[in-house]
Amino acid sequence: MYVTEILERCAVLAERSAALYRQLAERFADDCERRELCHALALVEETHAKVLREELASFQEREEAGDFLPEFGQRIAQIEDQLAKLAQRVTAAQSPDEAIDSLLALQQTTLEELYDDLVVQGDPAFRIFVERLEAAFANSPKRATLRPRRQSQT
């Protein structure tokens, strides 16, 4: 699998992940913190997809396919499978706890690791761009908690 194919497939995975976060945000209509967290996570994934597509366009402009990296194929297939199963879980979630479990499972996929590994494969300018982007996200507003709140016993 060449870098260009990896970039394309990973951009699609990031878009699918963002869509799942947006679906989960709808599940948290009555929980402002979790809803905002899901929207923020969706934005991160949408940004990753955009970055990957821009890097793909850079390879295409140079009419290059990039290095051949066979080890990425299996990793991508595993993440595709994980996201397909998570999409079913998100759709089937009936309770806030099930939605939270789905959200946690989505965050535990290895998509972020794959993204980081792809950054290493890119041009030095691409790595600098990604580092600046990540620094901007690190300075974003506070993170909301994922764990359900305990009901007080009275």
Q: What angle do CA 140, 38, 105 make, to 5 degrees?
A: 115
Spatial CA neighbour of 76 closest among 115, 123, 43, 49: 115
Q: Give the list of residues 6+ apart from residue 65 with CB closer than 8 angstroms, or none.
A: 2, 3, 4, 5, 59
pLDDT digits (tens, 9 = 90+) for 33-82: 999 999 999 998 999 899 889 888 988 998 988 888 888 899 899 999 99
Alpha-carbon distance 54 to 105, whole Å?
Answer: 28
pLDDT digits (tens, 9 = 90+) for 72-118: 899 899 999 999 999 998 888 888 888 888 888 888 888 888 877 77
Q: Give the list of residues 6+ apart from residue 89 with CB closer than 8 angstroms, or none.
A: 98, 101, 102, 105
Alpha-carbon distance 74 to 16, whole Å?
Answer: 18
Phi-psi region of 66 (alpha: psi -120 to 50; beta: other; left: phi over 0): left
CA R_g for the chain:
17
Alpha-carbon distance 106 to 150, whole Å?
Answer: 23
| Residue boundaries of the structural domains of the chain | 3-138
Alpha-carbon distance 100 to 55, whole Å?
Answer: 33
Whole-prediction pTM value? 0.77
Alpha-carbon distance 2 to 71, whole Å?
Answer: 10
